[in-house]
Amino acid sequence: MSTRIWMSMGRLLGIGMIMGLLGWSRVVTPAEQLLDYCRQFRAIHEAIGAQAISPDSAERAFQEVMVGLRQSFGSRSDSCRVGSEGYFVFPLRGQVPRYSIGGRGRGYKPNGFDLFDNEVRGSHPAHDLFIRDRNQDNIDDVMCQPVDVLAFTSGIVLAVENNWHPESERRGGNYVWIYDPCLDGLFYYAHNKCVAVEPGQWVWAGDKIAEVGRTGLNAFQERSPTHLHFMFLRLTPNALPEPGNTYDWLLSASVKEWEWWGIQEEGEGEEESP
């Protein structure tokens, strides 16, 4: 081989090494990987709702995404302070937990729940959190303001829907799914009027994620009082979802007070629930 060819090969190798050192080679960054998990999660959720995927396939796809997510946040678990002061923030701003939680917690019915089978009905592995809205205009009757939906714990926003319309058959309406790596579980906030976060975004407990609304096939009907449907699914070691009862957490959560004309009161967000 001629010297010239050896020189060009050497040059190419050199350029390749420099690019590698500078990180120019094509690698998937953690942020891109995370957004990919978010996209997959939403696609699975939507396919289940549209009955476009078999429960078995949905389960396998879900497991794969959750195992990946769990791994990407593995290093964070050292800094978890589950149950410490302020870990849980009541998901509705300015509402008193014991009056807001439907049926004093008896609305929670986990039996028979299957996240992957849209045909299964009858279970309600969630708490409905109500606001005072007799005329059903999504405005709190006493405060004359919309009610903010707040992140119950910190986590990563996995999927949102913000375009629900009354002709849609979807039950959750405008929803938000958040993964909490400390609890290794998913929170689902449904029936929102509008959503204020995006997939891939990190939220802290108490951050505004939506406003309470009446979206969703049943929540939209007149017979349904305005509420937030709030569900928690803990992941098993196999990364499968298992309903968890959040009643005690909700009762002990910090309550974030109303904001007055956009100005936060001193000590805001720290008031203890009764």
User: Site residues (CB under 5 A) for Zn ion?
Assistant: 126, 128, 229
The distance of closest approach from Cβ of residue 229 to Zn ion in the complex, given in angstroms and rounded to an integer, is: 4
Integer Cα distance of 206 and 201 in angstroms: 14
Integer Cα distance of 212 and 229 in angstroms: 10
User: Is 72 or 123 the residue whose CB approaches Zn ion more closely?
Assistant: 123
The distance of closest approach from Cβ of residue 241 to Zn ion in the complex, given in angstroms and rounded to an integer, is: 16
- How many other CB atoms sit within 10 Å of the CB of residue 154? 20
- How many other CB atoms sit within 10 Å of the CB of residue 171? 17
The distance of closest approach from Cβ of residue 239 to Zn ion in the complex, given in angstroms and rounded to an integer, is: 25
Q: Considering just the CA atoms, what is the radius of gyration of the chain in Å? A: 23
The distance of closest approach from Cβ of residue 121 to Zn ion in the complex, given in angstroms and rounded to an integer, is: 13
User: Is 128 or 211 the residue whose CB approaches Zn ion more closely?
Assistant: 128
Integer Cα distance of 200 and 191 in angstroms: 21
Closest residue to Zn ion, Cβ-based?
229
The distance of closest approach from Cβ of residue 107 to Zn ion in the complex, given in angstroms and rounded to an integer, is: 7
Integer Cα distance of 81 and 83 in angstroms: 6
Integer Cα distance of 94 and 274 in angstroms: 13
First to last CA, the chain: 84
User: Is 126 or 195 the residue whose CB approaches Zn ion more closely?
Assistant: 126
Q: For the range 54-57, what are the long-range contacts, defined as Cβ-Cβ under 8 Å and sequence gap of 24 or more?
A: 55/114, 55/116, 55/117, 56/116
The distance of closest approach from Cβ of residue 178 to Zn ion in the complex, given in angstroms and rounded to an integer, is: 17
User: Is 102 or 181 the residue whose CB approaches Zn ion more closely?
Assistant: 102
- Of 198, 219, 216, nearest to 207 by C-alpha is 198
**By three-state DSSP, how is residue 111 classified?**
coil
User: Is 128 or 184 the residue whose CB approaches Zn ion more closely?
Assistant: 128
User: Is 126 or 233 the residue whose CB approaches Zn ion more closely?
Assistant: 126
